[in-house]
Structure 1
């Protein structure tokens, strides 16, 4: 069984212009970091012209499907039934994208099949990590 799930999604950048251009993005989940998800935007879709990856809690993404969540750099909220808004706050500015909620639900289902929500702590391997630290001491 794979330990990493990657799913391309179509994000629509919310801008001042009436047309919202689509940009490709990738949602990624790694069982070795069970609490986190990553959303990556390719270089052509960013102001800096370099790939940008945001890391945030899987719970934030799941909870944001049902109501506004987040108070920091990443915020998630529903936009009707079929869209979810993700806001990414950085010193350079804020990016707001819409993603189809069905794509996020499909991604979260796949991550939950890999590591069920609420059981992430069982995948941390803290005993193994502690033993490795003590071995070197």
Structure 2
């Protein structure tokens, strides 16, 4: 089992103008350093880190109330919105690349990697 999973894909930066800009990104998951976190690495060294469960939930319905918000956009796209002191950044992904990334995570580490089991005696 490889503890690091990477998916090279493309994202579209959404701006206030009607234009979108395609950029290459790396989706990254490292089961050994933090099995609850996924990363999106942009050109220039910018890295967004957020919960794997947030990404999984956002694939199905709007998720997140904090600095990262994720929601499906139709059947084929996913939107990730990041709020910071610098403003709001919005990025759109194809569902296919995110689904492929999440399937690889599940295949390698399984969903139990992010679950906490409580046992009562």
**Shared fold per TM-score greater than 0.5:** yes
Output the TM-score relative to the length of structure 1: 0.79
**Structure 2: gaps spanning 5 or more residues:** 116-121
TM-superposition CA deviations, 1:30-61 (whole Å, max 9, x none): 11111110111111xxxxxxx11111111111
Mapped pair 1:64 → 2:65: no
Alignment of 1:17-32 (within 5 A): 17-32=17-32
Match of 1:116 in 2: 110
Distance in 1 separating the partners of 2:9 and 2:68:
17
Which structure ranks higher in relative contact order (CA pairs < 8 Å, sequence separation ≥ 6)?
Answer: 2
Output the TM-score relative to the length of structure 2: 0.89
Structure 1 residue 19, shift from structure 2 partner: 2.1
Distance in 2 separating the partners of 1:95 and 1:69:
16
Which one has the largest radius of gyration? 1
Q: How many residues align?
A: 114
| Alpha-carbon contact 1:31-1:114 (below 8 Å) kept | no
| Alpha-carbon contact 1:8-1:25 (below 8 Å) kept | yes
**Structure 1: gaps spanning 5 or more residues:** 44-50, 123-137
Q: Which has the higher strand share?
A: 2
Structure 1 residue 121, shift from structure 2 partner: 5.3
Q: Which has the higher helix share?
A: 1
Match of 1:42 in 2: 43
